[in-house]
Structure 1
Amino acid sequence: MKGLLRWGMILMAGALLAGCGESGRSKPIQPPVTAAALPGDLTYQDVLQKGEVVHNLSMTPDAQHIWVGTHAGLYHSAGGGVWGLLSPELEQKDVTGWFVDPNNPQHIFAAGNNGVLRSTDGGKKWAKLGKGLPEPAEIRSFAGIREGDQIRLFAFVTGEGIYQSSNGGNEWSLWLPLDQEVYAMDYDPMENRLYVAAQFNLLYHEDGQWKTEVVPNAQQVYSLTVDRTSGILAVATDQGIMEKIDGSWQQLDAKSPETLIVISPGAGDYRWVGIGESAFVYTLSNGKWKKWN
């Protein structure tokens, strides 16, 4: 692969800056625009310089903003090459994943090598959660889902496995020990399965055991996501984006300009959003991938 990858899917910013050039100057439930999502004055190259490592992305339900999690903060952009820091309190925080409560968008959970943080005011202030998590908790993948009146969260802690909280992050317990590195995970409520892009396989947990999901022709799975509106499971692989629709795998017809190593559901007219190995952010609309940043 052209870019330097961390755990097979995370981008090192040193390589990214070289790939951005001037064009770089000119994200479960997706986060909404909150009170903290104020307009910014940064270029994407600024984000890469500040963030050092790009972990993940998502698009807001109104299709107006994309969020990007980095080693030093959570950033947002409405396009046009302009980016801003979502929350000043997260500026020096590692953010590998996040979850926004669909019933109350002011409630946001963020995770990284600082453990799990929660905001109840749209990202202005944050409090640390973690009773039952190891200290320190290096969380490399994070997912969440609302089930009735409860929020269920999943956090992969390096060297231990997947921890689970069934009460909005207040208390945690080791749910599924796993001795592989995890690049991404997401919960599919329609199949009642947790899918995991692990070091050696695409896995899912069912009937008390890990099972392997075979993705046709793919030698490596970089990341995965579940579109909870359509129920489609999408994985970013060395062969491109693969979609599991009604139990069958098929390759996405639209060819991306480069290998995508992070994939997330889009919104509105956007089917998917992704990050390429050069760190560019892309959106898929009307059968074509285009740069966002």
Structure 2
Amino acid sequence: MKGFLRWGYGAMVLVLLSGCNDSEQNKPAPPPTVTAAALKGDLTYQDVLEKGETVHNLAMTTDAERIWVGTHSGLYSSTPGGLWSLLSTELEYQDIVGWFVDPKDPHQIYAAGNQGVMHSSDGGKEWTSIGSGLPSPADIRSFAGIREGDQIRLFAFVSGEGIYQSSDGGDNWSIWQPMDQEVFAMDFNPEENRLYVAAQFSLLYNEDGEWKTEVLPQAQQIYSLSVDKRTGILAVATEQGIFEKIKGEWRLLDARSPEKLIMISSGEGETKWVGVGESALIYKLSDNRWVKWN
């Protein structure tokens, strides 16, 4: 794979200077506008992009009402009013590349990044560092999780080493599979009992301790992947569009997105998928149509 596209986002302001007559100059200036971003805890999406600098991942909450985005500087959540907020100040300066929310108890959240693995038991307000057995420091570049009965199984790709695994909710880790190439995204498919990996050069899956290559027709560059745990469908974002693997067969998604999507994640409720475009805008797929999130 040639490389994973990441981006920054900045605002461009054009100031037009024009002449004005004396009467216009003598008019009192209007009061300053109070923007949502000026209110404590309230941010526009542009603020999130400027503060976070780089978007690494996104996910829809189980109530289908909010989107979370992991950035170079914190984990952010959208709000019903169209604004955004930092999920916790404890993560404000951490590079968050991925997280896992326990489907049995959504208050249990695991997040990972350049400072290792963090755990919250109160829905993301307070966090503690966990991860005995991980390198110190653990530069985690990709993260995934799955609940299997009473067990939470977590996977973390540590750059330069490979994929570590925990079978006890993140308390203890050990190297699972060494990797000699970078991993940009990964997710576990419970229907196939496979961990899928978007690696530097190809789409891989691990079966019985052996890495195998998954061939995508027409696709040359893979940006991101996600598994819909409700259906077992695997989606992969490529330069050709979004491919879905349904019952072992690959097909290109019919719905055309407004722009190329370089990040994909499973949706909730009536939303099938959510994605991030090259412009950093967020879209959701409902009724076979991509629409902007907000």
* TM value normalised by structure 2: 0.88
Could you tell me which residue of structure 2 aligns to residue 266 of structure 1?
267
Distance 1:231 1:69 in 2: 24
> Match for 1:143: what amino acid?
A
Please name the residue that 1:17 is paired with.
10
Aligned residue in 1 for 2:127: 126
In structure 2, the partner of 1:65 is: 66
Among 4, 11, 31, the residue aligned to 1:8: 4
* 1:170 matched residue in structure 2: 171
AA at the equivalent of 2:71: T
Structure 2: unaligned runs, 5 residues or longer = 15-34
Q: CA shift at 1:49, angstroms?
A: 1.0
1:206 aligns with 2:199: no
1:107-146 alignment, distance < 5 Å: 107-146=108-147
CA shift digits 1:189-247 (9 cap, x unpaired): 11011000000000000122110000110001111010010110000001000000010
Hey, what does 1:54 align to over in structure 2?
A: 55
Q: Secondary structure at the match of 2:10?
A: helix
SS in 1 for 2:285: strand
In 2: Cα distance, 1:199 partner to 1:79 partner: 37
CA distance in 2, matches of 1:197, 1:60: 23
Q: Are the aligned partners of 2:59 and 2:68 in contact in 1 as well (CA < 8 Å)?
A: yes
Instruction: Give, in whole Å, the separation in 2 of the partners of 1:121 and 1:103.
Output: 14
Structure 1 SS opposite 2:58:
strand
Which of 103-112 and 70-79 deviates more? 70-79
Q: 1:174 to 1:256 in 2, by over 3 A?
A: same
Deviation at 1:20, TM superposition (A): 11
| In 1: Cα distance, 2:13 partner to 2:257 partner | 17
Instruction: Work out the CA distance in 1 between the residues paired with 2:67 and 2:76.
Output: 8
Residue 250 of structure 2 is matched in structure 1 by 249
Q: How far is 1:164 from its partner?
A: 0.2
Give SS of 1:17's match. Answer: coil
After the TM superposition, which segments of 4 or more aligned residues of structure 1 sit over 4 Å from their partners? 18-21
Q: Residues 92-103 of structure 1 correspond to what in structure 2 (within 5 A)?
A: 92-103=93-104
Contact persistence 1:221–1:236 (CA under 8 A): yes
- Structure 1 segments unaligned to the other structure (5+ residues): 1-5, 27-38
Please say if residues 20 and 278 of structure 1, whose CA atoms lie closer than 8 Å, have aligned partners that are also in contact: no
Corresponding residue pairs, total? 270
Contact 2:56 2:97 in 1 (8 A): yes
2:25 counterpart residue number: none
SS in structure 2 of the partner of residue 12 of structure 1: coil
What letter matches 1:129 in structure 2? Answer: I
Supply the distance in 2 between the matched residues of 1:262 and 1:125 (Cα, whole angstroms): 28
Q: What is the CA–CA distance in structure 2 between the aligned matches of 1:145 and 1:225, rounded to whole Å?
A: 13
Q: CA contact under 8 A between 2:75 and 2:88: conserved in structure 1?
A: yes
Report the residue type matching 1:234 in the other structure.
A
Deviation at 1:81, TM superposition (A): 3.9
Give the superposition deviation at 1:17: 2.3
The 2-side partners of 1:119 and 1:127 are apart by 7
Measure, in 2, the Cα distance between the counterparts of 1:85 and 1:96.
Answer: 15
Deviation at 1:159, TM superposition (A): 0.5
- Name the CA distance, whole Å, in 1 between partners of 2:197 and 2:11: 31
Quick one: structure 1 residues 103 and 42, their matched pair in 2 at CA, closer, same or farther if it must change by over 3 Å? same
Which string of whole-angstrom CA distances, capped at 9 and with x for unpartnered residues, describes residues 125-159 of structure 1?
11101211111111110000111111100000000
Identity level (%): 66
What's the CA shift string for 1:21-76, capped at 9, x where partnerless?
Answer: 9xxx99xxxxxxxxxxxx95101110011101100000011110000000111111
Larger Rg: 2
CA contact (8 A) 2:204 2:213 kept: yes
Amino acid at match of 2:51: K
Q: Secondary structure at the match of 2:257?
A: coil
Is residue 177–residue 209 contact of structure 2 (8 Å, CA) maintained in 1?
Answer: no
Alignment RMSD (CA, Å): 2.0
| 2:114 aligned partner, one-letter code | N
State the alpha-carbon separation in 2 of the partners of residues 43 and 20 from structure 1.
16
1: CA distance, partners of 2:72 / 2:264: 18
